[in-house]
Amino acid sequence: MKLIALHQLLLGITYEKILGNQGLGVKSLRLDSRQVEPGDLFIAMPGYKSDGHLFIPKAVENGASYILCHQLPELIDDKICYVVVEDVRKASGRLVANFFGDPSKKLKLIGVTGTNGKTTIATLLYEFFQKSGFKAGLLSTVENKIASKVIPSTHTTPDIISINQLMAEMVEAGCTYAVMEVSSHAIDQMRIDGLDFDGGLFTNLTVDHLDYHHTFKEYVYTKKKFFDQLKPEAFALCNIDDKNGEVMMQNTRANRKSYAVKRMADFKGSILRNSLEGLQMRVNQKEAFFRLIGMFNAYNLLAVYGAAELLGFNQEEILLHLSSLEPARGRFEIIRNPLNQQTAIIDYAHSPDSLENVLKTIVEVKGKESRIITICGAGGDRDKTKRPQMGAIAGKLSDLVIFTTDNPRSEEPECIIDEMVAGVDKEFMDKIMKVTDRSEAIKIAAKLADPADIILIAGKGHETYQEIKGVRYPFDDKEKIHAIWH
């Protein structure tokens, strides 16, 4: 394995001091002290729940040769090299990029941020590049891809080492483009620092992650930082039908471009027909049919169209490829019962806004005789303010609601369900059922549904597990409904 000299890793980094032997070179970078091996550099990263500085002794015990920190430990080991910086998060972005040879500069890298739509837009852009004859990389909530190779995903945005390692593999595989979802957590924790973005996309902002950001204003400001950091040669493409779209562009140095359905914009779309088969749309005066459904997907398609055009692709080529693309896994994914054509829709909707968007879309495209049977829950150990709001929306827009578990984590499932039911308007209470077991909830929905009805299984989408009391059990909504129908 090639060792990298410390002075190479510190290029572009202002450090306060270096103590100890700089050694022969760095073998690997580690954020987890338990994974440290001799020759490694341990990054003592301040975390949301714990501080990496507390684990310096463990990293030393496991053989770390180098430590990046902002505060020296009480016990200094003279066999180890300590690099002291003012801000470990800020310094690590540059250091990690240096270690992997600055891979993001060798790719056309596009970041997608916002509350809803990130996964669909990122996936569609990736698929578009691949269909256009280019190898591309994808970092998303559902999965990571290096050209056609699939790597399971654990976070919306991986840690800073994983991001750069994956991008280095993309470069090695011959990728020209890379698309990544950029979460507010990743922006706040500087996991994207040191990356060279060629474009940024903003989808929309609704109340989410207030368990982390505390206020909506802080959430908006965090998202805005991504656009503030873009280089002048990049583009900032924002949805200006969302009032925060213009906020995102206020201070950016990047080339500002907009997309919208309701307002005039650089990339303007209008829906001509919306059905369960797809969308007939006019995009910048050209008509096309897309296999995606609903107003929210009209915005997603516009974002992809605009980004592709800003990257130099021509209109006809963009529309041709986009018209053949399918939705991302677990994003308004339609499944038909082969026996009676009963319809189920699996969607990741796990916030009030996303649940409302999905339900309103189903209301628009369903037949007059069709009922909507909604199965939904809410995640434990997350923003509790969403629960009654989601309950109210499900009760209002569905004909029957089965409240059930999502990922309860450390919380009691029944308490989460009760908090959702508490938001349901009294006039809709006769539509409500409470079934704690998610498998049982899906079985009951399938049994109660007539062939013309639509079952919405919301909240988990692409996920293949259910987290209960610290344990992840296999659970896939799509597999469950298939098993019931076959």
pLDDT of residue 287 exceeding 90, the answer is yes
Q: CA angle at residue 201 from 200 to 205, to 5 degrees?
A: 125
Q: Cβ distance 22 to 6 under 8 Å? A: yes
* pLDDT tens digits, 94-117: 999 999 999 999 999 999 999 899
Beta carbons within 8 Å of 207's beta carbon, 6+ residues apart:
216, 219, 351, 352, 353, 383, 385, 386
Write the burial class of residue 439 (CB in 10 Å: 0-12 exposed, 13-18 middle, 19+ buried). middle
pLDDT attached to residue 156: 64
CB atoms within 10 A of CB 64: 23
pLDDT of residue 283 exceeding 80, the answer is yes
Domain parsing of the chain, residue ranges: 6-99, 103-322, 333-485
pLDDT of residue 57 exceeding 80, the answer is yes
Q: Cβ distance 442 to 331 under 8 Å? A: no
Architecture of domain 6-99: 3-Layer(aba) Sandwich (3.40)
Check if CATH label 3.40.640.10 holds for domain 333-485: no
- Using a pLDDT cut of 90, give the percent of the chain over it: 88
* C-alpha closest to that of 265 among 225, 309, 212, 211: 309
pTM across the whole model: 0.88
Beta carbons within 8 Å of 235's beta carbon, 6+ residues apart:
198, 199, 200, 254, 255, 256, 257, 307, 310
pLDDT category of residue 328 using cuts at 50, 70 and 90: confident
Q: Beta-strand (E) ranges in 352-429?
A: 372-376, 400-403
Domain 103-322: CATH superfamily is: Mur-like, catalytic domain (3.40.1190.10)
When the pLDDT of each residue in the chain is averaged and rounded to a whole number, the result is 94
